[in-house]
Chain A
Amino acid sequence: MAIDHSKDAARLRAGLLIMSLALLLVLVLVALRSCRTEWRGHQTAFRVLGAVPEERALGIIQFENCAKEMERCTTCHLGAAREDLAKDEIPLPFRAHPAPLAHHVHKRFGCSVCHGGTPRALESEIAHAAPGTGRIDPLHRQPHIQASCARCHVPGDQPGMERLKKGAELYLSLGCAICHPLTRGGRGGWDFGTDLRALGRKSLAYLEASLVDPTANFPQSTMPSFATTFENHPEALVDLLIYLESLVLERAEARCNRRDRSQGLAGVNCTTCHSGDAGRASGRFEHRCPYILEREEQLNCSRCHPDSVPESGEHRGICPVVREHRKGCNVCHDDLPKVEGS
């Protein structure tokens, strides 16, 4: 197996040259692929359209919305906040938002607070999907977008979240909260069911299957089927699904304006603490302690929740943030241990 010295050296040098060229070629291909991005194409198309971009020098356009999430949606949706582009002949990525955004001005709220998706991404396939999945985010479609309202608002009478409110009422009137009380530890009530506080992460198909046939996703389930309940009320099923979709643990941070906070807890859903027995929590929130329930008229909230409930002013009467839960029990029960967890 004697190797010819000079032939071997020549072969090696040729091999080295070929491999260097191959590596160079691969790197050039990588560079070309990285430069040809979808958003650059959109920005060129926007210029061709004759529309003048607001930002003088385009590129990646980003800003932080009220939930402190970085958004890059307007890198492609260049006309989203421009009334002069609210025409049907303007092609889709550039058309202005169809409905007027009276309170939710784009500059502060951005897109993803309501529309979901992965706002940091720049490829439409990823940006329009639920974070980290290839699954297109169902929150994009009406009426499921109402689930986003619960990021900041407690389901209530504000216009635009009618179906979410109906869903929340169904959750209580159908008795869901008996087994799935949505309390802080995920446990409480009769404590049969699983913790549903992060249920919104599941897909719509998963949620619907779980209601119609609970054993479909969880073979050992003892939950009754709600197929007959919804048989003639497909609308009601959708309402409940919207509420279930709104159950996500991480909510918008409490950095929105004060009015939003007074209309509901930014950051914490009230049902997180106040689920009550089935049906009782709809409309208003009630204590479970019989002593408090009997003397409801005499006791005012701030006696048990000092520093939490403002007695006057804009937030009067509505519990904005019960920071130290059950701290007030000690007002009557001296022998109770101090603040057990939450």
Chain B
Amino acid sequence: MKPSFFSALWSNLKSLPQTCRTGLRPGGEKALDPGRRLRRNFVYHLHALKVSERALHPLTTLGLGLITATLFLVLIVTGVLLMIYYVPTPREAYQSMQDIQYAVAFGGFVRALHRWAAHGMVLTVLLHLARVVFTASYRRRELNWIMGIGLGACTLGLAFTGYLLPWDQLSFWAVSVSTAMLDNVPLIGGGLKSLLLGGEIVSAATLLRFYTLHVALLPALLLLLLAFHFWRIRKDGGLVASSAAGEDAETLPAWPHLVLREAVLVLSVLAIVCLVSAWVAAPLGVPPDFHAPGNPEKAPWYFLWVQEVVSYSSVVGGFVFPGLLLLGLLLLPFLERENRDAGRWFGDRRCRRTIVVALAVGVLALVVFEAFFVSAGQTADPLMRDLFNPASGMLVLAVLAFGLGGWLTGSTRSAFLLGFVVMLVAVVGFTVMGLLRGPDWVFYWPWEVWPGGY
């Protein structure tokens, strides 16, 4: 053995602190020129070197995309922890939930984190979508918009498949109710339902399928889409540039101004979701009674609007209304290609006025439809039921607002905003009404006590 081996080893050992500093931080080598050093930093995979001051303002995006991504991270970590104890068989699912909730150290906390982060993520994904529509950030980014819709669908799918896993009375019947709504989709609805359930009813096969979707397929798909979504934003130059001249002129380096802002937001989200989860436990209901659904049994809140409109009539409620909403969203960046008002909330003054009008008309129409259509639709004739479904009314109104508004203003942007706001009013309104439903699907105010029950 040559002595040079030992001397080399010794000298490398002596310079270990130094090589750790440089070798573990590839961007930190002093020998590189500052520009190159910056570009080698991982941060610049996600962000441009410079960002506009407008992009840094918290009101520009409300940080909704980042909040969603943070909550997804929380969900991955807590989800993997829950997988250690959870058993996806009908016999043991509920028991393992009880173990996690009551006996496992920090089990109740981790479960609450998973539950509240999931509800939060669904909410922020939907708000993120609304933000992109209202700031016209979908323009010239058709692919990323479609990816975004796919991410939203994955999020809803994850939330929905996770809803069944506790295997309590609420989850069993909520999933039974929600999957039954698939019957209204023509041609593929029945097949899709059998594929999802592994049979005609929610059973052991369903639990295993939902579990597989929830822990493997959907998260993998979501991660892939998410990476692509982020990469596309980076390649498209970050946030959509404002079309107002000079608004993006002032720029700052992304480090530290953008990155630290994001870090503060991420930490805030983590702190808030931990605080909520420490004090508000995730509910765990009674074990499922496969023979007796509760009265009422409702779908999870993000599908409640579908259940509400299906309760009036199935074809319009279960297929036409949600289908046209999805179609309209998918076509939005292809049909709306104007150049003004990009990156600005609600566009110019004229746009804002149209939104206020759409909001007022939408709310008024919803109340009117609820008051007059519902009693008119109480017939056995399915055509009449579909015709007098409040959702049909709102759909016609949205199409009218879209066509008429577009024709009057001569702007596709105004037309889509009008249609979107009317549909938004409808979806939110139907969700609120679904929440107010009590036994026998009758309306009750939140402060009224439901008759019967336990």
Classify the interface of chain A: helix, strand, loop or mixed: loop
Instruction: Answer whether residue A261 sits at the interface, using C-beta atoms and an 8 A cutoff.
Output: no
CA distance A5 to B452 in the complex (A): 64
B267-A16 in contact (CB<8A): yes
Instruction: Answer whether residue B224 sits at the interface, using C-beta atoms and an 8 A cutoff.
Output: no
Please tell me which one of the listed residues B257, B286, B452 contacts residue A3 in the complex, with CB atoms under 8 A apart: B257
Please tell me which one of the listed residues A130, A195, A201, A217 contacts residue B451 in the complex, with CB atoms under 8 A apart: A217
Chain B residues near A33: list those with CB within 8 A: 278
A133-B286 in contact (CB<8A): yes
Instruction: Answer whether residue A51 sits at the interface, using C-beta atoms and an 8 A cutoff.
Output: no
A112-141 contacts to B, CB under 8 A, are 118, 120-123, 126-127, 130-133, 135
Chain B residues near A342: list those with CB within 8 A: none
Instruction: Answer whether residue A262 sits at the interface, using C-beta atoms and an 8 A cutoff.
Output: no
B287-A72 in contact (CB<8A): no
CA distance A16 to B265 in the complex (A): 9
Q: A13-B260, A26-B278 are in contact. Are A132 and B287 (CB under 8 A)?
A: yes
A22-B292 in contact (CB<8A): no
Please tell me which one of the listed residues B102, B277, B292 contacts residue A120 in the complex, with CB atoms under 8 A apart: B102
Distance (whole angstroms) from the CB of B259 to the closest CB of chain A? 9
Instruction: Answer whether residue A1 sits at the interface, using C-beta atoms and an 8 A cutoff.
Output: yes
B292-A26 in contact (CB<8A): no
A120-B99 in contact (CB<8A): yes
Distance (whole angstroms) from the CB of B82 to the closest CB of chain A? 16
CB nearest to B91 among chain A residues: A68
Q: A13-B260, A34-B105, A72-B103 are in contact. Are A121 and B98 (CB under 8 A)?
A: yes
Chain B residues near A26: list those with CB within 8 A: 271, 274-275, 278
Classify the interface of chain B: helix, strand, loop or mixed: helix
Instruction: Answer whether residue B408 sits at the interface, using C-beta atoms and an 8 A cutoff.
Output: no
A185-205 contacts to B, CB under 8 A, are 186, 195, 197-198, 201-203
CA distance A203 to B107 in the complex (A): 30
Instruction: Answer whether residue A20 sits at the interface, using C-beta atoms and an 8 A cutoff.
Output: yes
B253-309 contacts to A, CB under 8 A, are 256-257, 260-261, 263-264, 267-268, 270-271, 274-275, 277-278, 284-287, 289, 291-292
CA distance A109 to B286 in the complex (A): 23
B454-A133 in contact (CB<8A): yes
Instruction: Answer whether residue A322 sits at the interface, using C-beta atoms and an 8 A cutoff.
Output: no
CB nearest to A203 among chain B residues: B454
Chain A residues near B454: list those with CB within 8 A: 133, 135, 202-203, 206
B238-261 contacts to A, CB under 8 A, are 250, 252, 256-257, 260-261
Instruction: Answer whether residue A336 sits at the interface, using C-beta atoms and an 8 A cutoff.
Output: no
| Total chain A interface residues with beta-carbon distance under 8 A | 50
Chain A residues near B101: list those with CB within 8 A: 121
Distance (whole angstroms) from the CB of A207 to the closest CB of chain B? 11
A16-74 contacts to B, CB under 8 A, are 16, 19-20, 22-23, 26-27, 29-30, 33-34, 60, 62, 70, 72
CA distance A118 to B102 in the complex (A): 10
Instruction: Supply 4 further A-B pairs (C-beta < 8 A) apart from A19-B263, A26-B278, A186-B291.
Output: A3-B250, A133-B285, A201-B289, A216-B452
Give 11 pairs: A residue, B residue, CB < 8 Å, sorted on A. Answer: A1-B53, A8-B252, A12-B257, A13-B260, A22-B267, A27-B274, A120-B98, A121-B98, A198-B292, A203-B454, A216-B452
Residues of B within 8 A of A (CB): 53, 56, 95, 98-99, 101-103, 105-106, 108-109, 168-169, 250, 252, 256-257, 260-261, 263-264, 267-268, 270-271, 274-275, 277-278, 284-287, 289, 291-292, 451-454
Q: What 10 A-B pairs are tightest by C-beta distance, nearest first? A: A132-B286, A19-B267, A12-B260, A121-B102, A120-B98, A217-B452, A23-B271, A30-B278, A15-B264, A132-B285
